[in-house]
Amino acid sequence: MKFPDRLPIPEEVLKIAQRLESAGYETWCVGGAIRDNLLELENHDFDLTTAAPPAEVRKLFKRTVPVGIEHGTVAVLDRHNRPHEVTTFRRDIKTDGRHAVVEFGVSLMDDLARRDFTINAIAYHPGRHEWRDPFHGADDLEHRLIRSVGDPNWRFQEDYLRILRGLRFSARFEFRIHAGTLEAAKANVQGVAQLSAERVRDEWFKGIATARHVSKLLQLWVDVGAARIWLPEIREKGDGTREKGGLDKLPRDPVLITAYLATDPASLLTRLKCSNKEIERGRAIGAWRDKYPDPKHLPAVRRWLSQVGEYADDLLTLPPARSSPISLLPKVVASIRAAKDPLTLQALAVDGNDLIAAGVRPGPDVGEALERLLGEVLEDPSRNTKQYLLAHV
C-alpha cells in the first residue's frame, strides 16, 4: 500500500502537535485514525504520541485531563471542549497480562514496538508529512491481515485483552488473522480469564457494534476459545449451526444481541457486570422470547403487551417475531397502541381508593380486584369505564 502524501489532520489536532513541536518535543499522529484513513474509512479522532513527559504536556496546555497519566496519557481539551489524547513515548518494562508498568523517555520506534498489531503501529508526522511503518502495517492493510507486532505469544501475554481486540478488528474489517497470530491467540486464550469483566464486556460490546457481521465475531470468539471462558451461556445449536441470518439482521444493540444468543441472558450479563437495568432487560428477553401471542386474537395480544411491558419492542425485534404467522404481530401491536387501549393498572378508570370506597377490604384484596378488572379491560377495552368496573367489583 502506498502512503498518501498527507492526511487530513483536524485543525485542533494540528495545533496541539505544533505547540509540542515548538517546545522541542517530537510529536506524531498514531492509532486507529491513521489505520482507518489508510482504509478510506471516516475517522477524525487522531491520537498523538510525543517525547514530552506528561507533566510537560500539562504545563504546555491550559486545559487538560489526566485520563491515564500513569501510562503517560493526557487529554488536551480544544476550544470546543473536545478531548484529544496525547501520550508520551513509552515502553512496557513489566506486565502481568492485565496491567503494564511503563517507562517514558524512549523513542518513537520503542513506542510503536509495544503496540498490539502491525496495522495499529503506523505513525504520521503532521508537520513534515512523514511516515513511519517499521512493522509493515501498510502491507498488512493491503493484504487484509491482522498480525501481531513481534512475537505474538509475548504480545498477548503482555495484555490478554489483545486477543479479544484482534478478534474485533478481524470482524470489523473482515481481515484474516495471520496463522501465527491466530495460533498464539488460541494457545494463550486461557489468559483472558484474568481480565476484569468490565474490560471484556467493553470489548464484546464494541465488537458487536462494529463487526461487519456479528455472526463472524461470534464464530471467532468460539473458535479461539474466548466464548467458552466468558460467554458459556452462548451454545451451539443441536445441528452445530447458528441462526446467522437472523443474528446479522438484528439492530447493533449489544444487550439485545447478547440476550438473544444466551440460554440464560441474566446470568451472562451479570458476569459481564452490566447495569441492573441491562440485566433485567436481558432477563425479560430470556423469559419471553419464545412466548408470542396469536396475532389474530386481540385480547391475547393485549395481555401479552400488559405482561411484557417496556420490553415488547425488544421481543418484536427478535427473529421469531418475523416468522409466519407471528410476523403479523408488529402490525397488530401498532394498531393497539394507536387505539391507546389500556394495558396497565394505572390506565384503569378506577384505582384502589375507588375500590375501597365501593366496599373492597383494604389490603391484598384491592390488588387482586384491580388485576381482575384489568383482565376484563384487556379482553374488551370498551369496559374501561368507572361505572362498568365498579359494577363488576
pLDDT of 333 reads 97
pLDDT of 245 reads 63
CB-CB contact of 36 with 81 (8 Å): no
Angle between helices 298-308 and 364-379 (to 10 degrees): 140
Cell triple for residue 24?
A: 522541542
CB-CB contact of 259 with 252 (8 Å): no
Query: What residue ranges define each of the domains in the chain, with the CATH number in brackets?
Result: 1-143 (3.30.460.10), 150-288 (1.10.3090.10), 290-391 (no CATH)
The pLDDT tens digits of the residues spanning 335-362 come to 999 999 999 999 999 999 999 999 999 9
SS3 content of the chain, % helix, strand, coil (to 5): 55, 10, 35
CB-CB contact of 260 with 244 (8 Å): no
Helices vs. strands in the chain: H and E counts, helices first: 21, 11
CB-CB contact of 178 with 170 (8 Å): no
pLDDT of 239 reads 34
Instruction: Say which range, 106-115, 179-188, 235-244, 363-372, has the weakest mean pLDDT.
Output: 235-244
pLDDT of 243 reads 56
pLDDT for 253 beyond 90: yes
pLDDT for 98 beyond 70: no
The pLDDT tens digits of the residues spanning 55-78 come to 999 999 999 998 887 788 999 999
User: What's the whole-model pTM score?
Assistant: 0.88
Average pLDDT of the residues in 30-51? 91
Q: What are phi and psi of 344, to 5 degrees?
A: -130, 165
The pLDDT tens digits of the residues spanning 275-326 come to 999 999 999 999 999 899 999 999 999 999 999 999 999 999 998 877 878 8
pLDDT of 99 reads 61
Q: Rounded to an integer, what distance in angstroms lies between the CA atom of residue 276 and that of residue 198?
A: 14
CB-CB contact of 33 with 45 (8 Å): yes
pLDDT of 237 reads 46
